[in-house]
């Protein structure tokens, strides 16, 4: 049995199938970890959702910002962006079932010495603390107040963690860190508008994984979200978004031995 972690798919179903064929993926024996952003920008979002949902326990998926965007749009709490490609999902006869499945995916998956999250973790969060906070968001997504949660989800403020936060602002900080963050200050203030490569960090910030004294260095963080960073690995980090939807590559890493596999867009 092997476990493969795969970067942002974003509706690139054909590339996903070519990558799985390249590694001879066997859903009866192997496992797939997907770092989020299953949908949007690419042309085959509905196929990606159906395929991963159909894999059952063979696929472990965490939510990305585009997946949450789909949930907000699908329930009527966000206006569609002019360049999204979600019409296939929203007009599909099984849209309701797909959105319901998506809403039950976690923000964070921890297993052994790996922790998978879409974007990153704030430096002051231990892995156990991040698990507690991710569980708060999952409870909101699957609870009776989910529509209010989605209504209040969008926004960049607050831009830093405070244990005293409550309600929607508390959940918004958790979601923004785990699904949108690339840069932050050493003390954990997020610069959510920064999207360029690490060398173009907004003034006073560093890539989140370079924050000194980061408490979650106890695990290897498996993430995506940052196509300008590209496939990047260092001790304690596997960043897997190699920009497939932008004409780059789709990347998988076999976690058992760190072997890398890629297919072009």
For the chain, the average pLDDT equals 96
User: Is the model's pLDDT at 79 over the cut of 80?
Assistant: no
Average pLDDT rounded to a whole number, residues 57-62: 98
H helices within 91-126, ranges in order? 95-103
pLDDT tens across 189-206, in order? 999 999 999 999 999 999
pLDDT digits (tens, 9 = 90+) for 206-237: 999 999 999 999 999 999 999 999 999 999 99
Q: Does this model's pTM top 0.75? A: yes
pLDDT band at 2 (very low <50, low <70, confident <90, very high): very high
- Summarised one tens digit per residue, pLDDT across range 146-161 is 999 999 999 999 999 9
What's the fold here for domain 3-264? Purple Acid Phosphatase; chain A, domain 2 (3.60.21)
Residue 108's nearest CA partner among 175, 166, 191, 155 is: 175
Give the integer Cα–Cα distance in Å for 236 and 221. 6
- Report the pLDDT value the prediction gives residue 174, as an integer from 0 to 100: 98
Number of helices (H), then strands (E), in the chain = 8, 13
């Amino acid at each position: 049995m092997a476990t493969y972690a795969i970067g942002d798919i974003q509706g690139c179903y054909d590339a996903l199938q070519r990558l799985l064929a390249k590694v001879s993926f066997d859903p009866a024996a192997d496992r797939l970890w997907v770092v989020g952003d299953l949908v949007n920008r690419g042309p085959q979002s509905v196929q990606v959702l159906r395929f991963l949902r159909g894999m059952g326990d063979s696929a472990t998926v965490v939510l990305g910002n585009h997946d949450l965007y789909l949930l907000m749009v699908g329930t009527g709490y966000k206006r569609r962006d002019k360049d999204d490609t979600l019409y296939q999902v929203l007009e599909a006869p099984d849209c309701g079932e797909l959105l319901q499945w998506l809403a039950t995916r976690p923000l964070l998956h921890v297993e052994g010495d790996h922790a998978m999250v879409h974007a990153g973790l704030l430096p002051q969060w231990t892995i156990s603390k991040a698990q507690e906070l991710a569980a708060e968001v999952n409870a909101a997504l699957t609870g009776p107040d989910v529509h209010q949660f989605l209504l209040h989800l969008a926004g960049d403020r607050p831009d830093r963690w405070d244990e005293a936060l409550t309600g929607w602002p508390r959940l918004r900080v958790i979601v923004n860190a785990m699904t949108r963050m690339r840069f932050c200050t050493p003390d954990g203030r997020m610069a959510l508008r920064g999207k360029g490569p690490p060398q173009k960090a907004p003034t006073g910030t560093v890539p989140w994984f370079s924050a000194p004294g980061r408490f979650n260095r106890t695990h290897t963080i498996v993430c995506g979200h940052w196509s300008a960073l590209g496939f990047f690995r260092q001790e304690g980090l596997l960043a897997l978004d190699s920009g497939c939807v932008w004409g780059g590559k789709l990347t998988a890493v076999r976690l058992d031995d760190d072997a890398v596999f890629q297919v072009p867009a």
